[in-house]
Amino acid sequence: MYSKICKVLVPAFMLLSLGFNKQLFAASEEHQAQEAVAGHEATAHEAEAGKFNPGDFMFDHIKDAHDWHLLSFGHTHVSIPLPVILYSKNSGLHMFMSSKFKHGHADYKGFHLETSGENKGKILEADGSKPFDISITKNVAALFFSIFLILLIFLNVGKAYRKNPLKAPSGLQSFVEPIVTFLRDDVIKPSIGPKYERYMPYLLTLFFFIWINNMLGLIPLPPGGANLTGNIAVTLTLALFTFAITTFSGNKSYWKHIVNTPGVPAWLKLPPLPIIPLVEIIGIFTKPFVLMVRLFANITAGHIIALGFISLIYIFSEMSHPLAYGVSVVSILFNVFMMFLELLVAFIQAFVFTFLSAIYFGMAIEEHHEEHAHA
């Protein structure tokens, strides 16, 4: 099974890198050429800042971008350009590679990439308005890669079950199966109850999607390293799925508990101050909101801490080089420790998101027995 994955993955990577290489080097050469011509005027901002800014360093890594940054020597940035897809109200649909912007040093078709300020890293039109941007950004590219990886793993596993379900699990199957049975028997079944089977596909997809993306985010090199599950848009999407499924599964008793909570005095439920229904209705929205924020905050925080330790090296190197070497040892050790911690967090956050989603589904379809529940 492992060698099979390698057989697929290695050519895929090679193809990917080959495809990008041409543009990549073209981009960096152009960049250098331009720099040579323009002197350092274009990079005045960077030069003026001069000093290492850990805040920018961290946030540039955490935030989404239109290219996938690999490394920089001096003012030469090496990055994988990504497709930009824009819809402008003025000029319609545009598709081009982000290398056209030359890391923010050039305009293209009336668009430019902001390099500082409030909209740093965003594409703006000449008049400063934002076009409708559905570009394949770093996060989206990472998303595509993770989807490819997830499909590769789980379609393979699914095939094994289709072939012979009674055979003892082997290879990837024996990795996936205990996790699936753990989720089924210890998380989903107890949280949802007897009707749990309807929700299994969603919850399993959710768990493995979050977990695999969390772990890919820990790999510092493309196609990992994107802060996908630490991106609020992605966690928002996942929370929206849970919210939608909870809301659509809600049975009579679920809505009754929200609008007309049993066992609560009537004056708390009627105008002028229907406080309990209000709280319950807010609760419908806070539950997925909390899911969204928790995953985003945990993963982003993990990235920030790792980057913080790296930043220390740069900060100390501006003081003295020997000191920086000393600090780097400590930094790396802390980073390794954080990596292990983040591996744990990657699992825990995927688990918590799945577990809470299952609990919300369970609440939505639970049949209440009033006499017992509120006796």
State the residues that interact with another protein by CB under 8 A: 59, 62-64, 85, 118-119, 132-137, 139-140, 143-144, 147, 150-151, 154-155, 157-159, 161-162, 165-166, 176-177, 180-181, 184, 197, 200-202, 204-205, 209, 231-234, 236-238, 240-241, 300
Nearer to another protein, 44 or 240 (CB): 240
Question: In the complex, what is the shortest distance from the CB of residue 82 to another protein, in angstroms, rounded to a whole number?
Answer: 12
Nearer to another protein, 201 or 263 (CB): 201
Whole-angstrom distance, CA of residue 211 vs CA of residue 62: 18
Longest dimension (CA), the chain: 82
Min. distance of Cβ 206 from another protein in angstroms? 8
Residue (43 or 173) nearer to another protein, CB: 173
Q: Rounded to the nearest whole angstrom, what is the least distance from the CB of residue 30 to another protein in the complex?
A: 26
CB of 344 to another protein, least distance (A): 24
For residues 25 and 182, which CB has a smaller minimum distance to another protein in the complex? 182
User: Does residue 182 contact residue 337 with C-beta atoms inside 8 Å?
Assistant: no
Give min distance, CB of 254 to another protein, in A.
23
Residue 53 or residue 253: which is nearer to another protein going by CB?
A: 53
Please tell me the distance from the alpha carbon of residue 234 to that of residue 216, in angstroms, as a whole number. Answer: 15
Count other Cβ atoms within 10 Å, centred on residue 263. Answer: 9
CB of 223 to another protein, least distance (A): 14
Q: Minimum distance between the CB of residue 157 and another protein, rounded to whole angstroms? A: 6
- C-beta of residue 135 within 8 angstroms of C-beta of residue 100: no
The DSSP line for 244-278 is: HHHHHH--HHHHHHHHS-TTS-GGGTSTT--HHHH
Burial of 125 (0-12, 13-18, 19+ CB in 10 A): middle
Asked if 235 and 350 count as a contact pair (C-beta separation under 8 A), the reply is no
CA distance 247 to 241: 10
Nearer to another protein, 125 or 133 (CB): 133
Q: How many CA atoms lie within 13 A of 86 on its CB side?
A: 25
What is the token pair recorded at 183?
């989720």
Burial of 348 (0-12, 13-18, 19+ CB in 10 A): middle
Residue 194 or 272 having the CB closest to another protein: 194
CA 361 to chain centre: 23
